[in-house]
Structure 1
Amino acid sequence: MEESNKRIAKNTAYLYIRMLASMLVSLYTTRVVLQALGVSDYGIYNVVGGFVAMFGFFNSVLQSGTRRFITLHLGKGDLKLLRETFTTSMYTHTVISIVVLILAETIGLWFLNYKLVIPVDRLAAANIVYQFSIASTVLTIMQTPYIAVVTAHEKFDIYAYMSIFDVVMKLVIVFLLIYLPGDKLVLYAALTMGINLAGILIYRIYCHRKYSECVFSLKRNKGVFRSMLHFSAWTALGHLSSILSNHGQNIVLNLFFGTLLNAARGLSDTITWLVKQFIFSFMTAANPQLVKFHGAGNREGFTNLIFNISQYTLFLFSVIAIPVFLEIDFVLRIWLETVPQYTALFIKAVLLISLISFSNNMIDQGIVAIGRVKESCIYVTPIYLTVLPLSYLLFRLGLHPASCYAATALASLLGFFANLYLLSKHNAFPAMKYLRNIFLKNTLLSLVAFIPPFVVQRFMEESWLRLFIVCGLSLLSTIAIMYNFSLSQSAKTLVKNKLKSILAR
């Protein structure tokens, strides 16, 4: 047990190093890349890259199954079966990559040139970026079995080392982008693909030297393939809805408003991703415990864990989100020389939607724990699939570019309610109590905590002094109100223990 705890602590430390390095470099490189490319070219890169990423859906069909079965067969200690699993996954992901390549070079290429709104003088550059993006996507798909092997062996230190490599290379890209001549958009796409290729080669060399199961042969295991496909099918459906609602909205924005709005969305995604990383890093440890409580028939422990982690998550989210919401306009002007229109508004909209999604996260994990993923996909996935057509309809009616976030918020709320219903139906979960004591209560308390810094902000001129005062007051107000009126005693204990463990590490 002690050895297991040490391994978990070490893996957590590696993941935190990875997250922190990625966050710091993302902030710096985003600023420099935006300056080097310009707003329009930055938007082109985001919409083209996002469009190609949609083809990655096919990879999700077997991705989760590949990781699960390599881990499962590693635990059995059967090297022959493990090698067959690796070979089978290599075959399937090679076929998937070929399918993606054919679709991208036919339907995708037509859509890029005849449907996306790209300035005529930048269409040639956009096509080159598109080809680099396709190459990166295909290589990433074929890399999935190797990543699954590293994950199965719990070698999280390699993630940290590769993150350091990624950080260094992104900084090199920034330097080269500034000083090398030529088309900056094409140069940036080429250098980014070069980093991806180098990372893929490093992983492959490492796996072939370190793990004996990484041997490609002609022998496939049809039983393993069927098991992986059956396990992954419903997960893939949920992944499809996520891709369409995110990258699909980016494409719809482009069709109606052009590349400048894609730049704004790309920047807003970067900021909100950074905010979410703090919260997701604290949530992952609770998921295995849910499965254990359900397996042991401990319904009280199962319910209490969902309540406590959700309270804890919303508390942490409010601490971070309120200062960002209030001062994001000033921060963007400091961070970026040129701020694309609507960037701040998009960030605020995503933060509001995140309040719903974080309330739903543990409910969703509870459904996974009790084995009702198929039913959740049947009821919840269609709700999220409405986001794309609804966004298109809103834009056709001439509404504001941010109206697409209203479609996302509505789908998120309905999906949250549907998950609550399913969990209460199959596990006697107190849905109304959760809705009242967690979602509504924390939303109200967040609004109350928002008032003191908001009032101070109204009476001060925009400046560094106001930034520090508002952020400090936001922090104190949110912690005082949320800690005293939101968290249960057990959740307070969880917060204290988590802070102690962080300080200890």
Structure 2
Amino acid sequence: MNASISSNKRIMKNTMLLYLRMLFTMGVALYTSRIILNVLGISDYGIYNVVGGVVTIFGVINAAMATASQRFITFELGGGNINKLKIVFCTSLNIHILISLVIFIIAETIGLWFFYTQLNIPIGRIGAAFWVYQFSVLTTMVMMITVPYNAVIIAHERMSAFAYISILEVVLKLLIVWALTVFGIDKLILYVVLLFIVQMIIQVVYVFYCRLFFKETKFQLLWDGLLFKKMSAFAGWQLFGCTAGVAYTQGLNILLNIFFGPAVNAARAVAVQVQNAIQNFSLNFQQAINPQITKSYAINDQERLSVLINASSKYSFFLVFFLSLPVLIETQYILSFWLGIVPEHTANFIRIMLVVMMIDVTANPLITAAAATGRIKTYQMVVGGILLLILPISYLFLKLGYNPEIVFLVHFGMVICAQIARLFMLRKMISFSIRRYFKEVALRSLIVGSISIVLPLVVSEYLNSSFASFMIVCLICILSTSCSIYFFGLQKNEQHFAKEKVSQLYYKLKK
């Protein structure tokens, strides 16, 4: 019981640190995105996102291996086997170095062929787009080599490191914005070069931090053939799932570029930025709780594992819905106030993507639990197979002449199917109760969402578009969502806990 209380306190502390980090970085990101969009222009901004997306496709191999590293390192740390932990880290680092070299070769052959023959880039900007591509490749290589170091930090739950290093990263990115407004050379090329330099600095800091505090990160020529096979098998099936993820993110981005050009890519890029800003609130909470999910499985604590999965899913939904509701209702006003120049389709993209995100955030704890078992072959075949259908179905609709919004509606439908499949797969993998999940997570989330939206939506219909009306709608959203979460989203013990925390905060402020 004491261990459980200690773990809960650690989760709360790490969550607060990650939120402080996120609020700081998000505030700067929202400020800089307007300047970058205006400095680069809609076309160059779209080029940067679609060309960078091509590199992300080749990084899918690394994403799969990153999940494997995270799972094996956290599992061994939870089991307390320090010697095995050192072997896992060194093996993981060797694999990531090899992967970075493989991806470099693929990117400079198949990738360049795709760049020159398939992408829709204005003729006058092909030269600049080429350098965007090259520096995106280099940035990806730097980040993938340091993945095992980041995995160790997360496994040890040292979230303060992410918080402090993020401050440095934000300051450096502010300097990038300043440089774009001062120097007269090609803005797009300057932007990608400076981003590469910033990532180099940040990743080096992460490596030095790990070498200073964690003994297992001191690299040695250790190799475990059996471990390599296990990690490779895990990563291989994870690759299948990551491929599906890339298909409905960067794959759709490329489809939009082929059918509609860079302007629609710019609209999607803005929508993704809004989505990421809100989603980061839940991801920070989940990043704090995910190591506990893996460690609970490692010590075979099934009850705590179920509690953590359901709590993470439910609270993540409440959090993103709380933040998304004002954006869903006042999308057009927010975009006009924030950007000034608003690419066509942006508002519709944002609304659909936020609804998709509400489902995705409840899926992440299920994904973490499935990965913790290490037995993901069937899981990835089923769930990954469903998500892979997003790209061909979207292509079919676009060929039939539908508007670009259709790809996000297809995404929405398939994500619901994938979530249902996850629940049934997890029931077999860890004896997970679907009935309990439906009662504690799905039903409560649905009730909260349905009740919360009614009053703000009615009020917004009777108000003119202005800053005053926007603030009124936001206030009503806050009150409506807070009351709905408290009365319909929380169980009795959770309501009691919430009242205690609010009372403690009130008395502290009163003093």
TM-score normalized by the length of structure 1: 0.89
Alignment correspondent of 1:417: 420
Counterpart Cα distance in 2 of 1:206 and 1:318 = 36
How far apart, CA to CA, are the structure 2 residues paired with 1:179 and 1:138?
29
Q: Secondary structure at the match of 1:281?
A: helix
Aligned counterpart, 1:127: 130
Deviations 1:406-434 (A, max 9, x none): 11111111111212223445666553675
Q: Which residue of 2 aligns with 1:468?
A: 471
Q: How does 1:58-137 map to 2 (within 5 A)?
A: 58-70=61-73, 75-78=80-83, 84-137=87-140
Residues 12 and 122 of structure 1: CA distance in aligned 2, closer, same or farther (over 3 Å): same
Contact 2:240-2:381 within 8 A present in 1 as well: no
Q: Could you give the per-residue CA deviations for residues 114-151 of structure 1, whole angstroms, max 9, x where no partner exists?
A: 11111111111000111110111111122223333444
**Structure 2 CA distance, aligned partners of 1:217 and 1:297?**
34
Tell me the distance in 2 between the aligned counterparts of 1:91 and 1:20.
Answer: 35
Question: Larger deviation: 231-240 or 270-279?
Answer: 231-240
SS in 2 for 1:38: helix
Segment drifting more, 219-228 vs 410-419? 219-228
Aligned to 1:292: 296
Match of 2:462 among 459, 466, 478: 459
Give the corresponding residue for 1:242.
Answer: 245
Which of the numbers 45, 59, 66 marks the counterpart of 1:56? 59
- Pair 1:326 & 2:335 matched: no
Q: Could you tell me how far apart the structure 2 residues matched to 1:321 and 1:279 are?
A: 12
Aligned pairs for 1:394-473 within 5 A: 394-424=397-427, 429=432, 431=434, 434-435=437-438, 438-439=441-442, 442-443=445-446, 445-473=448-476
Distance 1:64 1:308 in 2: 22
The Cα shift of 1:31 comes to 0.9
Distance 1:462 1:304, change over 3 A: same
Partner of 2:342, secondary structure, is coil
Contact residue 252 and residue 392 of structure 1 kept, 8 A: yes
Per-residue CA deviations over 1:293-348 (Å, capped at 9, x if unaligned) read: 8965755x665665555443333333222111011211111111211111111110
Aligned to 1:240, the other structure's residue is in SS state: helix
* Contact 2:70–2:151 (8 Å) recurs in 1: yes
* 1:371-402 deviation digits (Å, cap 9, x = unpaired): 65333212111000111111111111110101
Residue 41 of structure 2 corresponds to which residue in structure 1?
A: 38
Indicate the larger mover: 152-161 or 194-203.
152-161
**Structure 1 residues 322, 153: closer, same or farther in 2, change over 3 A?**
closer
Would the alpha carbon gap of residues 502 and 31 (structure 1) be closer, same or farther in structure 2, given more than 3 Å must change? farther
1:359–1:439 CA contact under 8 A, matched in 2 = no
2:276 to 270, 273, 277: 273
2:349 partner amino acid: F
Deviation per CA, 1:31-87: give whole Å up to 9, x if none. 111111001101111111111011111113432333444556664343xx6665444
Q: CA deviation at 1:5?
A: 7.0
- Pair 320,109 (structure 1): closer, same or farther in 2 beyond 3 Å: same
In structure 2, the partner of 1:373 is 376
What residue identity is the alignment partner of 1:103? I
Judge conservation of contact 2:317–2:361 (CA < 8 Å) in 1: yes
Q: Distance in 2 between matches of 1:427 and 1:331?
A: 43
Q: TM-score, normalised by structure 2?
A: 0.88
Note if contact 1:290-1:305 (Cα within 8 Å) is conserved in structure 2: no
The 1-side partners of 2:363 and 2:70 are apart by 25
Between 271-280 and 288-297, report the one with greater CA deviation. 288-297
The more displaced of 209-218 and 336-345 is: 209-218
Distance 2:344 2:202 in 1: 35
Instruction: Say whether 1:251 aligns with 2:254.
Output: yes
Q: Is the 8 A contact 2:90 2:220 kept in 1?
A: yes
Kept after mapping to 2: 8 A contact 1:249/1:388: yes
What residue in structure 2 maps to residue 357 of structure 1?
360
> Aligned equivalents of 1:156 and 1:215: distance in 2?
20
Q: Deviations over 1:274-305 (max 9, x none)?
A: 11122233345555358638965755x66566
Q: Which residue of 2 aligns with 1:228?
A: 231
Amino acid at match of 2:59: G
What is the alpha-carbon distance in structure 2 between the residues aligned to residue 444 and residue 334 of structure 1?
32
Q: 2:463 is paired with a residue of what secondary structure?
A: coil
Name the CA shift for 1:279/1:463 in 2 (closer, same or farther; >3 Å).
same
- For 1:337 and 1:98, the matched residues in 2 are separated by 42
User: The residue matched to 2:471 in structure 1 has which SS?
Assistant: helix
Report the Cα offset of residue 244 of structure 1: 1.8
Q: How big is the shift at 1:437?
A: 7.0
Count of residue pairs the alignment pairs up? 502
Shift in CA distance, 124/333, structure 1 to aligned 2, threshold 3 Å: same
The gaps in structure 2 that reach 5 residues or longer are: none
Match for residue 182 of structure 1?
185
Q: Distance in 2 between matches of 1:134 and 1:107?
A: 13
- Tell me: CA distance 1:89–1:306, structure 2 relative to 1, closer, same or farther (3 Å): closer
Measure how far apart 1:91 and its partner are: 2.8
The 8 Å contact of residues 391 and 404 in structure 1, kept in 2 or not, is answered as yes
Unaligned runs of 5+ in 1: none
- Cα distance in 2 for partners of 1:16, 1:145 equals 23
The answer on whether the counterparts of 2:11 and 2:288 sit within 8 Å (CA) in structure 1 is no
Q: Which amino acid aligns with 2:170?
A: V
2:391 counterpart (383, 388, 391): 388
| Alpha carbons of structure 1 residues 310 and 72: separation in structure 2 relative to 1, 3 Å | closer
TM-aligned CA distance change 1:82 to 1:322, over 3 Å: closer
Identity %: 36
* Matched AA of 1:446: G
Aligned partner of 2:207 in structure 1 is: 204
